[in-house]
């Protein structure tokens, strides 16, 4: 039996460079792991894949990315035997926080350990990329510049330790919808990734905070104006900066002080319908 964390992520920058022939978008995004995590416990069983998720309404069958990840490892590596996967969900679902990818990544790592498969990180990422663009990042974690469709990774210096408040409004956003809407309304303002990487290399959190930018934010916000409201609230409660993560709808705020972050989280809980989480950034090895 093995127990593995599947960590949430936020995008500190997200740029779209063009539409690819395979239908995906060429992107350049700085991704950051958070302490907020689902817990997966994998147990060997004689055959087949079974899944239990503690969140009612979340599919616990072949449609679940963790199930598909286990299936992929078993067929690619000729695993004889099965697995039971128990998932404790903490990452909000369909939120722009890569919760499904985190579970798939944890399953790939867990299967590697459970069945002593000796797959390298690169091999795990190659398998992960078959299931979703964010999964290789979820396997590696830390602070990463992801390019291609999100699966090509360059490790960066860890983002300076920062407290993070997540506020997910009670609306659902589909990632394919957000990317399609972007094609109809491309962004006028793009992130300056080169400047961001330079500031990050200097450990200059204040400058990084000025440079955060997500080209999908205006698209999702047009349909869900609550995102603009949350961003303004986050800043009013003392965030260094606030922005939507991924294709949304979660808005994150970065805070230098834990006390200020806790106050902002409490205020969101009191004043809005948001699903609120108080967490912090983590480096590549989960610390």
- Is residue 236 within 8 A of residue 228, CB to CB? The reply is no
18 scored as a contact of ligand C5P (CB under 6 A): no
Distance set, CA 116 to CA 57, 79, 112, 165 (Å): 33, 10, 6, 37
Residues with a catalytic annotation lie at 9, 134
Pick from 25, 205, 224, 237 the residue near ligand C5P by CB under 6 A.
25
Task: List the structure tokens of 42.
Answer: 């994998």
Q: Is residue 108 classed as helix, strand or coil in its secondary structure?
A: helix
Residue 27 pairs in a beta bridge with 16
Pick from 99, 110, 128, 150 the residue near ligand C5P by CB under 6 A.
150
Interface stretch with ligand C5P, choices 83-91, 174-182, 202-210, 268-276 (CB under 6 A): 174-182
CA distance 176 to 102: 19
27 scored as a contact of ligand C5P (CB under 6 A): yes
Q: Is residue 155 classed as helix, strand or coil in its secondary structure?
A: strand
Encoded one letter per residue, x for contact with ligand C5P by CB under 6 A and - for no contact, window 58-77 reads --------------------
147 scored as a contact of ligand C5P (CB under 6 A): no
DSSP 61: S
Encoded one letter per residue, x for contact with ligand C5P by CB under 6 A and - for no contact, window 103-142 reads -----------------------------xxx--------
Q: Which residues of this chain interact with ligand C5P, rule CB under 6 A?
A: 24-25, 27, 132-134, 149-150, 175-176, 179
């Amino acid at each position: 039996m093995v127990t593995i964390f599947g960590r949430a992520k936020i995008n500190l920058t997200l740029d779209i460079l063009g539409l690819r022939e395979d239908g995906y978008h060429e992107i350049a995004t700085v991704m950051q792991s958070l302490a907020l995590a689902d817990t997966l416990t994998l147990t060997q069983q004689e055959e087949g894949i079974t899944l239990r998720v503690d969140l009612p309404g979340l599919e616990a069958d072949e449609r679940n990315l963790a199930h598909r990840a286990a299936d992929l490892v078993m067929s690619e590596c000729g695993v004889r035997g099965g697995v039971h996967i128990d998932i404790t969900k903490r990452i909000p679902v369909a939120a722009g926080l890569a919760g499904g990818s985190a579970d798939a990544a944890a399953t790939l790592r867990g299967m590697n350990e459970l069945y002593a498969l000796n797959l390298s990180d690169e091999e795990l990422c190659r398998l992960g990329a078959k299931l979703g663009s964010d999964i290789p990042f979820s396997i590696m974690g830390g602070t990463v510049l992801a390019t291609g469709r999100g699966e090509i990774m360059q490790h960066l210096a860890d983002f300076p330790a920062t407290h993070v408040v997540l506020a997910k409004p009670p609306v659902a956003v589909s990632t394919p919808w957000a990317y399609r809407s972007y094609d109809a309304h491309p962004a006028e303002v793009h992130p300056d990734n080169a400047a961001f990487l330079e500031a990050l290399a200097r450990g200059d959190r204040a400058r990084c905070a000025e440079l955060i930018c997500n080209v999908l934010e205006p698209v999702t916000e047009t349909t869900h104006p609550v995102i603009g409201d949350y961003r303004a609230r986050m800043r009013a409660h003392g965030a260094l900066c606030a922005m939507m993560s991924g294709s949304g709808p979660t808005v994150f705020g970065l805070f230098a002080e834990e006390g200020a972050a806790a106050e902002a989280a409490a205020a969101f809980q009191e004043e809005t319908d948001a699903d609120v989480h108080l967490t912090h950034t983590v480096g590549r090895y989960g610390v």
